[in-house]
Amino acid sequence: MLRFDDSTCDTGHDICRWTFEATDNQKLANAADVLIGRPLTIVTLLLLLLIVRWILHRLVDRLVARAEDGVLPDRVSRFGIRGRAAQQATARDLATQTRRVQRAKTMGDLLKSVITGLLVAVIGTMVLSELGVDIAPIIASAGIIGIALGFGAQSLVKDFLSGVFMIFEDQYGVGDVVDVGEASGTVEAVSLRVTRLRDLNGTVWYVPNGAILRVGNMSQNWSRAVVDVNVAYHEDLVRAQRVLREVAHDLWEDEDFSDLIIEEPEVTGVEVFGPESVTLRVLIKTAPMEQWGVARALRQRIKARFDHEGIEIPLPQRVVWHREEQRTGSSPEGEEPVQG
């Protein structure tokens, strides 16, 4: 009975071992290992590469599909806008959806490329090992490069990862007005590493994605105009609130603003007791990025209506004391407060 010598074939080369056990010929066993065993192992590794790549790409496609759907509902379906407003809102939502789909597909292609590159590097190294190439220097070099990148590019990796999640979650996009903490303004460009903003003064800000801890998006789905109106303490607050409701309702009924205002305005009542006045608040839900124009128009109408109704919008007041020095032998003079 033939006895198999483990030193004849390398560990893990089953074709060589089986051939040697069957023929007791070392040369034939080595030839079978070279002609059958190694090609079969390489083909198996390539099939494993294709299968793992297909599975991971399917997962990326599912993530891209979720990113294309977005995280917030459509404003038209949620608030039931009608007529011309619905058409314009639909056009804006379509543009937003198109932009979101493009960004999601771009991120999907990038992730697929990264996955393919990593799998090719790993499987390629294993194939080289099967071909008899010494892969120890390759692994050592990869380890050194990984350590160098880990220490030298921490912020870069953080920026890229933050950019990936930001794009997938659709936190903001080009054209949105956002507040990212240190800077706020209109988004002009979004990349995986940096976001470019332009503020109200025209200054361009470049913000690394890794430095963004929180994002306030003022133009996603809908916005709200908050208008505070000061009235004097001696005014009838019930009457003032009634006038505000009438002015806000007239703005809501105005055809020029029917495409901009989503819901009828709300007068919440007294908000603050200030030193010189009482503050009343009006809330208006508007289309994205339209809150500032609507608020300006409402303030102008409130000022005109208050002037017509005789409702006072008080100005800050101060008291000035005039003091005069008393002369020797003269009667003291009083001090008069002058209010202005």
Mean pLDDT estimate for the chain: 77
pLDDT digits (tens, 9 = 90+) for 38-61: 677 777 888 988 999 999 989 888
**How much is the pLDDT for 76?**
41
* Mean pLDDT along residues 113-125: 85
Q: Looking at the chain, list the stretches that DSSP marks H as alpha helix, in order from N- to C-terminal side.
A: 14-23, 26-32, 38-69, 75-79, 83-130, 136-152, 154-168, 237-253, 291-309
- Give the tens place of pLDDT for each residue, 201-245: 999 999 998 888 888 888 877 889 999 999 999 999 999 999 999
Provide the greatest CA pair distance for the chain. 144
What is the pLDDT, as a whole number, of residue 308? 93
The answer to whether the Cα torsion of 44, 47, 49, 52 is positive or negative is negative
pLDDT digits (tens, 9 = 90+) for 313-335: 988 767 677 776 655 555 545 45
Q: Give the three-class secondary structure for 192.
A: coil
pLDDT tops 90 at residue 298: yes
What is the per-residue pLDDT for 275? 86
pLDDT at 19: 61
Residues 61-102: tens digit of each pLDDT: 888 777 766 554 444 444 444 544 555 555 555 655 666 676
Q: Give the closest residue to 17 by CA, choosing from 37, 44, 42.
A: 37
**Alpha carbons 189 and 192: distance in angstroms, whole number:** 10
pTM: 0.56
CB–CB of 188/204 below 8 Å? yes
What is the distance between the alpha carbons of residues 160 and 171, in angstroms, rounded to a whole number?
15
Indicate the pLDDT class of residue 123, thresholds 50, 70 and 90.
confident
